[in-house]
């Protein structure tokens, strides 16, 4: 049986895998006010636990990109999903800093592969005019996972405790895996795709008898200014999202006076704003492309206003009320995710298809490296100086990143 609009079913599965990915990584963050108190974990020790996750995540951004190129999306994403789901479930048996650090390291090994497989799928399954929307949907999956996590995990903790919360969230990946294995195949060999959709999806593909392009080692990409510009921009701007993922529940409870119940009821709002930003950012640059603007200038034009909104971060810590605090955080997360959707799409616009998996891993290394260093630093800054200086720093990172990309990412890399 042929499935009409099959590529959008594939997009739905990529969206759901990202939702599960973020629920799993957010379980510790949501439970952190209780878990760190119960296990006697200081802010510096908590930052070390998070750093263990990001160190593995960073290294495997490169490794998983290579695995996706070699194994293909179907097998690679299946393996990643099983690995990180089991690692998340094992958190239920943690006893202290060392066991949590080891388990977060194992979780990080598997989780970055979700995005490497998604980037590859976008290149295989979608024409240029649809890529930003699908990237926006994938980024929205991250925000939806972060939206669902606070109320759901808080409820599980209130009724059953924090250990069952890890077991329940970790089991979601095995349900998703059944549908992935049933539905996903490459478009050129998919048994259920319609002829019309196959022609649309493969319209930009090279002829079947064309020689395969030579594989370019990922280190070779560093010779190009486009790679350096995108790598530096990811290094600088992505740590902002890591802060809101890992530290927001603790900040709201410990600094702004929220109870655990209030945090569970309200902490989803910044992630909902991020969800809207992901979709809006993809839509906006898609409109610019549809109007005739080349993809790279279209992404840059769409990113500029969001870079200019990010300095509002400077006012968050000194906001006069909790309502104003949440409102400012929502503006910042909206802007960041609208920015990130277009930044991620630039990878597809700049690099030829055969390089996407490996180059995406290399560029994402900047994400993980910046996030690892920033998260490690955050624990010390919070314990010694408080949160205020962090919000000041986060307010200037996106404008600097924009200037770097404007200077170095000007045209696509030839195949």
pLDDT in tens, 287-336: 888 888 888 888 888 899 999 999 998 999 888 888 899 999 999 999 99
Please give the mean pLDDT across all residues of the chain. 85
pLDDT in tens, 20-60: 999 999 999 999 888 888 898 888 999 999 999 988 988 88
Kindly state whether residue 289 falls inside one of the protein's structural domains: yes
The yes-or-no verdict on residue 15 having pLDDT over 90 is yes
Secondary structure class of 114 (helix, strand, coil)? helix
Kindly state whether residue 413 falls inside one of the protein's structural domains: no
Kindly state whether residue 212 falls inside one of the protein's structural domains: no
Kindly state whether residue 126 falls inside one of the protein's structural domains: yes
Of residues 67 and 220, which shows the higher confidence score?
67
In whole angstroms, give the CA distance from residue 52 to residue 276.
30
Kindly state whether residue 415 falls inside one of the protein's structural domains: no
Query: In the chain, pLDDT over 90 holds for what percent of residues?
Result: 28
Confidence band, pLDDT 50/70/90 cuts, at residue 17: very high
**Parent domain of 101:** 6-201+217-408
Kindly state whether residue 32 falls inside one of the protein's structural domains: yes
Comparing CA positions, the residue from 307, 140, 319 lying closest to residue 240 is 307
The yes-or-no verdict on residue 205 having pLDDT over 70 is no
The CATH number that applies at residue 270 is 1.20.1250.20
Kindly state whether residue 1 falls inside one of the protein's structural domains: no
**Alpha carbon separation from 68 to 18, 71, 229, 291 (Å, rounded):** 16, 5, 24, 34
User: What pLDDT is attached to residue 246?
Assistant: 87
pLDDT in tens, 333-382: 999 989 988 888 887 778 777 676 667 767 777 777 788 888 888 888 88
The neighbour count for residue 37, using CB atoms within 10 Å, is 9
pLDDT in tens, 123-153: 787 877 777 788 778 877 887 888 888 899 9
Comparing CA positions, the residue from 284, 179, 303 lying closest to residue 229 is 303
Q: pTM score, two decimals?
A: 0.76
Comparing CA positions, the residue from 369, 311, 370, 307 lying closest to residue 340 is 307
Kindly state whether residue 209 falls inside one of the protein's structural domains: no
The number of domains in the chain is: 1
């Amino acid at each position: 049986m042929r499935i009409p609009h099959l590529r959008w079913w594939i997009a739905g599965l990529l969206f759901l895998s990202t939702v599960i990915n973020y629920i799993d990584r957010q379980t510790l963050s949501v439970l952190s006010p209780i878990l760190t108190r119960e296990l006697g974990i200081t802010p510096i020790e908590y930052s070390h636990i998070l750093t263990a996750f990001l160190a593995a995540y960073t290294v495997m951004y490169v490794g998983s990109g290579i695995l996706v190129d070699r194994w293909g999306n179907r097998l690679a994403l299946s393996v990643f999903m099983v690995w990180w789901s089991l690692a998340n479930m094992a958190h239920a048996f943690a006893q202290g800093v060392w066991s949590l650090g080891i388990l977060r390291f194992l979780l990080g090994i598997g989780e970055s592969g979700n995005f490497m497989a998604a980037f590859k799928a976008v290149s295989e399954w979608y024409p240029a005019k649809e890529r930003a929307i699908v990237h926006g949907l994938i980024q929205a999956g991250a925000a939806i996972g972060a939206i669902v996590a606070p109320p759901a995990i808080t409820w599980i903790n209130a009724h059953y405790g924090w250990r069952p919360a890890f077991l329940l969230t970790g089991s979601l990946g095995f349900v998703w895996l059944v549908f992935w294995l049933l539905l996903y195949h490459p478009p050129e060999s998919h048994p259920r795709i319609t002829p019309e959709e196959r022609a649309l999806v493969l319209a930009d593909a090279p002829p079947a008898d064309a020689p395969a392009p030579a594989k370019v080692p990922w280190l070779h990409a560093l010779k190009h200014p486009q790679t350096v510009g995108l790598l530096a921009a990811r290094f600088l701007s992505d740590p902002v999202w890591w802060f809101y993922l890992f530290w927001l529940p603790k900040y709201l409870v410990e600094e702004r006076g929220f109870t655990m119940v209030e945090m569970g009821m309200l902490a989803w709002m910044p992630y909902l704003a991020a969800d809207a930003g992901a979709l809006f950012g993809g839509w906006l640059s898609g409109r610019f492309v549809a109007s005739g603007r080349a993809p790279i200038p279209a992404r840059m034009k769409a990113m500029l206003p969001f870079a200019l909104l990010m300095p509002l971060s400077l006012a968050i810590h000194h906001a006069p009320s909790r309502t104003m605090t949440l409102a400012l955080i929502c503006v910042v997360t909206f802007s960041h995710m609208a920015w990130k959707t277009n930044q991620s799409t630039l990878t597809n616009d700049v690099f030829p298809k055969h390089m996407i998996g490996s180059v995406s891993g290399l560029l994402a290394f900047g994400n993980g490296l910046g996030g690892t260093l920033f998260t490690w630093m955050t624990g010390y800054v919070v314990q010694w100086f408080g949160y205020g200086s962090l919000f000041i720093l986060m307010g200037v990172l996106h404008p600097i990143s924009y200037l770097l990309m404007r200077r170095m990412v000007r045209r696509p890399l030839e195949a």
